[in-house]
Amino acid sequence: MHSLRSRRLSSPAIVAVTKGLLLAELVAVVATCGGPGPTARPSTADTMAPTPWASVGPSATPNATPTPSPTPTPTPAPVSFPVAVVVRYDDPRESLSADALTAAASGGKLVAPCEMTGLSLSGQPLALAAGTACLPAADITARIHTEANTIGLLPPGLVSPSVKVLRVGDADLFGSPTHRAIAYPLMAETATAETWTAYDVNDVRTLISTGDTCPDRGVSLMAVTNKKGWDWTLNGGSARYGGFRMDTEYTGPQGTGWPVPNLRRVGNSGTVAALISDNDVSANDFECPMVANWVQHNGGKLFSIDPRVAQTLATKGGLKVVTLGSNHITDAGYAGVRSTIAYLDAAGIKHTGAGATLAAALAPAVVDVRGVKFAFVGWDDIHGSAAATSAHPGAAPMTDANVCDSIKAAKQVADVVIAMPQWGWPEYHSTITKEQIAQRSLFYSCGADGVLGSGTHWASWASILPGSNGPTFAIGSHGNFLFDQNWSQQTMEGVVVEVTFVGTQVAQFRLHPYVVVQGAQPNLLDPRTDGKYVLDRVWSVSDIR
């Protein structure tokens, strides 16, 4: 069909048009000269705004201003950002596969921000089921924190340690360097940039912390006497429980001994070393002295350690810092403190909590991670070691003055300060004591950002509390790591602590459960099955806000 613009008019059509124009002019004259009369319908030309050139000339209205054409406003491009998959802090899951995430989305099992659009997984649209719960982005965390088993989608800038971020496959926005390096598949869009859409992988740094380490007795028996080698102690994989038996070496709470799990390895050799060495910064409670003339102890409570373990912890374990502030660090006398420090220095492991003098014992161990400095300070509150003084070596006593002075000094040279107390006497409990509550408060008031505690030989309470500069974290004790107390389930189990920072702010606090096999080798436990024993013990007495 041709447009009217290109269509030729026949002679009758021309006549009709001409008559129409004459009639319009006549009506216009009558309306002008004859007063009230029929209102003429304006022509298209009458309703159009004049073009600039039409108002130029003698008949133009003086000072007439042309009406400018409106400038089109471009539609802003949507902002793309990665989306964290979050569950409650105590959820045992560690990851969610792409298939499981797709199923949760299509099944209406996700809580999503109302502001989010354009959700995609590995570049393909990911549709949420009709009726999927929608909340303002700022309200997602509260919903997840208060409702167990709920899965939420959260912009990265709103992630906090009161929720737990799950890996999507093996990719993790807030995980270790290896997991952060994997291309993250879950993306979304929003109409405008918000502070909570921002994410820069270069701002993320992960801290790994392990439990009580004194590799004498059963540990050195396996590594040296039985010729397994020190690398073997960190080469653990996964283990399972095959029921329990009662060990009556000690009477236990009911007078009938302590339950001990029957263990079996289920493969995955090397996963413990892979977990703890994959870090930006790592810390450990190293309780006992390393000396050249160390002695194998098959019992007792006096220890000396083969110094070759220092290099193993540094190379295979990726260890950066230890606290020596313990009740056993002077078991080999003043010389043992000095030699321990020398072996740590040779292995490139920094130290705090004990030293050649009190000033050295209180000095922070500082690690620079891509421009953010982490400082660690430690003290002993169990009172088994000689106290360091200005004249001789020893442990740093955990007095109020020592605590505050060392934290404030660390704050002068670092961006993040971590307190590492050995505390919680008497041993063998998971609950927080009144004294620890007061001590934790002192740590924070003096400027500490977090607490990595040890000393009870059980994995114990944790806390995430609001602070003046963001959340503060704490764990009372990790449990035994390279320590051979294999007479109870509680002393055989522990947790590797993983704390993630965005800049200097705590964003994640995650626990990885393990059990010490053969009194010498930590092996990971599935957090959904046997690992729940130790995780439930920790979370049931924790304060996460």
Residues of the chain with CATH 3.40.190: 79-199
Q: Stretch 66-90: mean pLDDT, rounded? A: 83
Neighbour tally for 427: CB within 10 Å: 14
Q: Stretch 315-324: mean pLDDT, rounded? A: 98
Burial class (CB within 10 angstroms; exposed 0-12, middle 13-18, buried 19+) of 293:
exposed
Least confident of 49-63, 101-115, 166-180, 415-429: 49-63
Q: Stretch 389-415: mean pLDDT, rounded? A: 98
| Whole-angstrom distance, CA of residue 444 vs CA of residue 243 | 42
pLDDT in tens, 453-467: 999 999 999 999 999
pLDDT value at 48 more than 90: no
Q: Of 493 and 26, which is predicted with more confidence?
A: 493
pLDDT value at 21 more than 60: no
Q: Are 523 and 239 in contact (CB under 8 A)?
A: yes
| Whole-angstrom distance, CA of residue 291 vs CA of residue 302 | 13
| Whole-angstrom distance, CA of residue 413 vs CA of residue 415 | 7
pLDDT value at 408 more than 50: yes
Q: Are 244 and 261 in contact (CB under 8 A)?
A: yes
User: Cα(first)–Cα(last) distance of the chain, in Å?
Assistant: 72
Cα–Cα nearest to 419, from 430, 435, 405: 405
> What is the amino acid identity at position 541?
V
pLDDT in tens, 494-517: 999 999 999 999 999 999 999 999
pLDDT at position 388: 98
Three-point CA angle 427, 253, 437, nearest 5°: 35
pLDDT value at 54 more than 80: no
What phi, psi does 315 have (nearest 5°)? Answer: -85, -50
pLDDT at position 190: 94
What angle in degrees, to the nearest 10, is found between the helix axes of 434-446 and 400-413? 30
Residues of the chain with CATH 3.60.21.10: 204-544
Topology (CATH level 3) of domain 79-199: D-Maltodextrin-Binding Protein; domain 2 (3.40.190)
Q: Are 434 and 448 in contact (CB under 8 A)?
A: no
Strand partners of residue 45: none
Q: Stretch 421-438: mean pLDDT, rounded? A: 97
Least confident of 25-29, 446-450, 473-477, 540-544: 25-29
Q: Which helix (H) or strand (E) holds 244?
A: strand 239-247
Strand partners of residue 502: 204, 505
Q: Of 49 and 97, which is predicted with more confidence?
A: 97
pLDDT in tens, 134-161: 999 999 999 998 888 999 999 999 999 9
User: What single string gives the DSSP state of each residue in 446-493?
Assistant: HT-SEEE-B-SSSB--EEEE--BTB-EEEES-BBEEE---TTSHHHHE
Ramachandran quadrant class, 479 (left: phi over 0; alpha: psi -120 to 50; beta: rest): left
pLDDT value at 447 more than 50: yes
Strands (E) located in 122-183: 124-125, 133-135, 151-154, 163-168
Cα–Cα nearest to 361, from 382, 390, 333: 390
Q: pLDDT exceeding 90 applies to what percent of the chain?
A: 83
pLDDT value at 11 more than 90: no
Q: How confident is the model at residue 12 (pLDDT cuts 50, 70, 90)?
A: very low
Q: Are 481 and 283 in contact (CB under 8 A)?
A: no
DSSP state of 171: B
pLDDT at position 314: 98
Q: Which helix (H) or strand (E) holds 14?
A: helix 11-33
pLDDT in tens, 324-355: 999 999 999 999 999 999 999 999 999 999 99
pLDDT value at 239 more than 70: yes
Encode 44-98 in three state secondary structure.
Answer: HHHHCCCCHHHHCCCCCCCCCCCCCCCCCCCCCCCEEEECEEEEECCCCCCEECH
What stretches of 266-379 show up as alpha helix (H) in DSSP?
Answer: 271-277, 308-315, 333-347, 358-362
Q: What is the pTM of this model?
A: 0.86
CATH classification code of 204-544: 3.60.21.10
Strand partners of residue 264: 240
pLDDT at position 63: 52
In the block, tokens 């209406």 appear at 108
pLDDT in tens, 160-184: 999 999 999 999 999 999 999 999 9
| Whole-angstrom distance, CA of residue 428 vs CA of residue 445 | 28
Cβ contacts of residue 455 below 8 Å, gap of 6+? 212, 285, 326, 327, 381, 382, 421, 422, 423, 424, 425, 427, 477
What stretches of 161-240 show up as alpha helix (H) in DSSP?
Answer: 177-180, 218-220, 230-233
Q: Are strands 258-265 and 480-482 parallel, antiparallel or unpaired?
A: unpaired
